Amino acid sequence: MEYIFTQDELQEIARHVAKYPEKKSAVMPALWIAQEKFGWLSNEAIKLVATTLELPYAHVYGVASFYTMYFKKEVPKHLIEICTCFSCGEMKGKELLDFTKEHLGCNAQGFSADGKIWARAAECLGACDTGPVCQISNRRYRHKLTEDKLKDIIEKLRNDEELPYERIPLYDQTPIED
Ligand code: FES
């Protein structure tokens, strides 16, 4: 695989760089763009970000290794992170994670038997009042999880379906019509 950014990707990184007084402040969005492109952050991908932003490799690696949303090993395309913390734990978050792994036939790394999905526990996702909660591939949340809801999520991910934003009545600001 060739580790280069396209002109469009370089322009996107330049837009992020322009927001800050120092180039190094754009390291997180640049890593994100690299992860979206390559699927995970290999040494080569991290080096590409470092070269593009004219930063030391060690600095970029330090950022990439600090945050769990950056993947430092090759992983399946889709990720289900189920919160097992405080409130979600009380609402069977751990049991739902076990259910998900079993349903997927996960190995010890949490990778599904078909290699398309992985599941792991998450710390508090900041949506405790609508738990148990999960986050899908660093993007969408799903609230008030049940086994059936997880089965539906898994089915959609297996088919690479786009998961839309989930409206929560509690937070839905759409004006109510009589
Ligand atoms: S405890 Fe699960 S979102 Fe806070």
Backbone angles phi, psi at 154, to 5 degrees: -60, -45
Q: How confident is the model at residue 90 (pLDDT cuts 50, 70, 90)?
A: very high
pLDDT tens for residues 37-87? 999 999 999 999 999 999 999 999 999 999 999 999 999 999 999 999 999
* Residues at CB less than 6 angstroms from ligand 1: 83, 85-88, 124-128, 131, 133
Other C-beta atoms closer than 10 Å to the C-beta of 105 total: 10
Q: How far is the CA of 153 from the centre of ligand 1 (A)?
A: 19
* Candidate from 82, 95, 124 with most ligand 1 atoms within 8 A of CB, to mutate: 124
Which domains are seen in the chain, by residue range? 7-66 (1.10.10), 78-158 (3.40.30.10)
Other C-beta atoms closer than 10 Å to the C-beta of 73 total: 8
More confident residue, 162 or 41: 41
Q: Which helix (H) or strand (E) holds 148?
A: helix 147-158
Sequence-distant (≥ 6) Cβ neighbours of residue 169 within 8 angstroms = none
Q: How far is the CA of 99 from the centre of ligand 1 (A)?
A: 18
* Candidate from 87, 92, 123, 171 with most ligand 1 atoms within 8 A of CB, to mutate: 87
Q: How far is the CA of 141 from the centre of ligand 1 (A)?
A: 12
pTM for this structure? Answer: 0.88
Q: How far is the CA of 35 from the centre of ligand 1 (A)?
A: 26
25, pLDDT greater than 80: yes
Q: How far is the CA of 157 from the centre of ligand 1 (A)?
A: 23
Structure confidence at residue 35 (pLDDT): 97
Record the tokens describing residue 100, joined without a space.
């998900």
153, pLDDT greater than 60: yes
pLDDT tens for residues 123-133? 999 999 999 99
Could you give the CA distance from residue 84 to residue 95 in angstroms, rounded to a whole number? Answer: 9
pLDDT tens for residues 131-152? 999 999 998 999 999 999 999 9
**Which 8-state DSSP code applies to residue 129?**
G
